[in-house]
Amino acid sequence: MSSQLSDAQPALPVTETTFSSYDQNQGKAYAHARPDYDPGVYKAIINHHKSTGGQFDTVVDVGCGPGSATRGLAPYFTNAIGLDPSQGMVATARSFGGVSSASRPIRDSSVDLITAANAAHWFDMPKFWLAAARILKPGGTVALWTSGEIRVHPSMPNAAALQAVFDEHTETYLKPFHVPGNYMVRSGYADLGLPWSIAQPVEAFDKESFVRKDWPAGEKFVVGESEVDLDTFEKIIGSGSPPTRWRQAHPEAVGTENDVVRILRRKIERVLRESGVEEGKERMRGTIHGVMLFVKKSA
């Protein structure tokens, strides 16, 4: 198995500019804030790919970021290639292991599996499907997934009040910094462009092969604890694109009590203390609704 990481594929169909402009320090902070996906997620991909006749020579992970999914899938394939437009993200991914790749183009009909982990909502989907049709082998698989938005776990003290705090905070501070991709995540990819639903359909894909897999609330989608201290909570929330854009617009507030994520934290602390949680022992427990879409190229 070899793992390659590249920031120089010219056909990469990414329209997003927030994460793609990250430097290596920002890439490292993102990697440390975002948990990897649960092994069950990778198992679901491999099982579907295998059961539908997929081969295991080459996987290409598009929008790989710091490379979590690339590394998670690499043991199953002879070659694992991660692509990302951000030099900072790719540098971070390389720091975790893998071989730096030159900008060699990926050969037509050479790829068995294409993945995009929490990235497809940033793509120009018509260009993505055209490129996927070109590089996939006949019978190859595309797997696109998102973890959706974080919601307050119903077991939290005063969960309804906490969720109301989240919703009000988003509406007041972050809504102006949402872009279409954020809404696609919140809808669980219900509106993501598929090969047959885009303006100019890409006929290389088999519509009958389409599978949508939803993760139930009790089934793990990411690794680690679902309950975290508020310092960790700040890092997780701060790694999202709307807070990142807010901070880019308000650099003087970053790291202060006027920071958009710090304001949310203080509101959460207040609700938890009103619910009887001792000061200094506040923790947050969230839930996510993972969604995965599978599409096969016609054999």
pLDDT in tens, 92-103: 556 555 554 545
Q: 65-69, 114-118, 124-128, 281-285: which has the minimum mean pLDDT?
A: 65-69
Cβ-based neighbours of 180, under 8 Å, separated by 6 or more: 121
Q: Where are the domains of the chain?
A: 2-149+180-220+287-297, 151-178+225-286
As to burial, measured by CB atoms within 10 angstroms (0-12 exposed, 13-18 middle, 19+ buried), residue 136 is buried
271-31-76 Cα angle (round to 5) = 125
Q: Give the separation between CA 23 and CA 92, rounded to whole angstroms.
A: 9
How far apart, in Å, are the Cα atoms of 23 and each of 66, 71, 177, 206, 249?
Answer: 12, 21, 21, 39, 17
Mean pLDDT of the chain: 87
79-30-159 Cα angle (round to 5) = 120
Per-residue pLDDT averaged across 206-213, rounded?
Answer: 98
Q: Hey, what CATH topology would domain 2-149+180-220+287-297 get?
A: Rossmann fold (3.40.50)
As to burial, measured by CB atoms within 10 angstroms (0-12 exposed, 13-18 middle, 19+ buried), residue 55 is middle
For residue 7, pLDDT beyond 80: no
* Predicted pLDDT of residue 18: 63
Q: Give the separation between CA 15 and CA 222, rounded to whole angstroms.
A: 26
Half-sphere exposure for 224 (CA within 13 Å, toward CB): 17
* Predicted pLDDT of residue 189: 97
The pTM is what?
A: 0.85
Higher local confidence (pLDDT), 62 or 13? 62
pLDDT in tens, 16-51: 566 555 666 665 565 566 678 899 999 999 999 999
Per-residue pLDDT averaged across 200-208, rounded?
Answer: 97
pLDDT band at 145 (very low <50, low <70, confident <90, very high): very high
For residue 253, pLDDT beyond 70: yes
Cite the DSSP H helix spans in the chain. Answer: 24-33, 39-51, 68-73, 87-95, 125-135, 159-169, 180-186, 230-238, 241-249, 260-274
pLDDT in tens, 64-101: 887 889 999 999 999 999 988 766 555 655 655 555 45
